[in-house]
Amino acid sequence: MQWLAIESATLVASVAVGEDERVSAEITSQSKLTHSERLLPMIDQALALAGCELAAIEGIMVSAGPGSFTGLRIGLATAKGLAHAQPRRLFAVSTLEALAWQQPEGIVVPLLDARRAQVYAAIYRRTLGGLEPLLSPTALPLAELLQSPLLQAEPVRFVGEGARLYRDQIVASQPHALFANPVHNWPRASSLALVALALGRPPVGVAELSPMYIRASQAEQKLERQRRREKQGG
């Protein structure tokens, strides 16, 4: 299967093109341009580098989050638009899975900053060719995560922008913590594709493709608070 992968859940945008388990081209960029300005040109560039026509793409892998609400919506809308233009299989992959997949075997904790004193996190056991979930993607205070019994039995590798931001706190709680190479702290589009293929992820329909928010956006939380006040006032 010839595929296109789109990652836009963080500040970094990444696009990859490949066939089965071979990555033909990948472009990763962090710039002042928004994802809406970058993604389509990056897709064109990656296809050109791979020597592949868009019409030949059979599957699209896309990051479903958690991550930036705006970034996720842009990436998913792009994937849906390409699937509408020509029937293609769509695959949704967790941003945290992609981060974990980029690490060697062992216990891996991908972390993204969720703000408001929380992190987006999961715990996986990375095996040769596999990824066993030990804690599903969630949003929680870092201190609560670090107290998990799952992190006490053996060396643990932390990866992601959250691992960089909170390194001092992690080391204070986990003196033997391992940290990923900084170049792997951003999820890559190729990892999305390889995870989906290796784990045999089933495709989803265009209507079913939706972001994995985990936590409501600030706008949604504000609306919910307003509804509660109105209900109490009524």
Q: CATH code at 108? A: 3.30.420.40
pLDDT, tens digit, 9 for 90 and up, residues 28-42 = 998 877 898 999 999
- Please tell me whether residues 202 and 138 are part of one structural domain: no
pLDDT at 223: 41
**174 belongs to a structural domain:** yes
Q: Which two tokens stand for residue 230?
A: 């109105």
- Please tell me whether residues 33 and 141 are part of one structural domain: no
Q: pLDDT category, 203, cuts 50, 70, 90?
A: very high
Q: pLDDT category, 219, cuts 50, 70, 90?
A: very low
**211, 64 Cβ separation under 8 angstroms:** yes
pLDDT, tens digit, 9 for 90 and up, residues 98-119 = 999 999 999 999 999 998 889 9
Residue 184 has pLDDT above 50, yes or no: yes
Q: Could you tell me the end-to-end alpha-carbon distance of the chain, in angstroms, rounded to an integer?
A: 57
Q: pLDDT category, 234, cuts 50, 70, 90?
A: low
**228 belongs to a structural domain:** no
**121 belongs to a structural domain:** yes
**189, 16 Cβ separation under 8 angstroms:** yes
Residue 217 has pLDDT above 50, yes or no: no
**What are the backbone dihedrals phi and psi of residue 201, each rounded to the nearest 5 degrees, phi first?**
-65, 130
Q: Over the chain, what is the mean pLDDT?
A: 90
Q: Which two tokens stand for residue 167?
A: 């390194």
pLDDT at 213: 80
pLDDT at 115: 87
- Please tell me whether residues 7 and 72 are part of one structural domain: yes
Residue-range definition of the domain harbouring residue 67 = 2-95+187-214
**226 belongs to a structural domain:** no
- Please tell me whether residues 28 and 135 are part of one structural domain: no
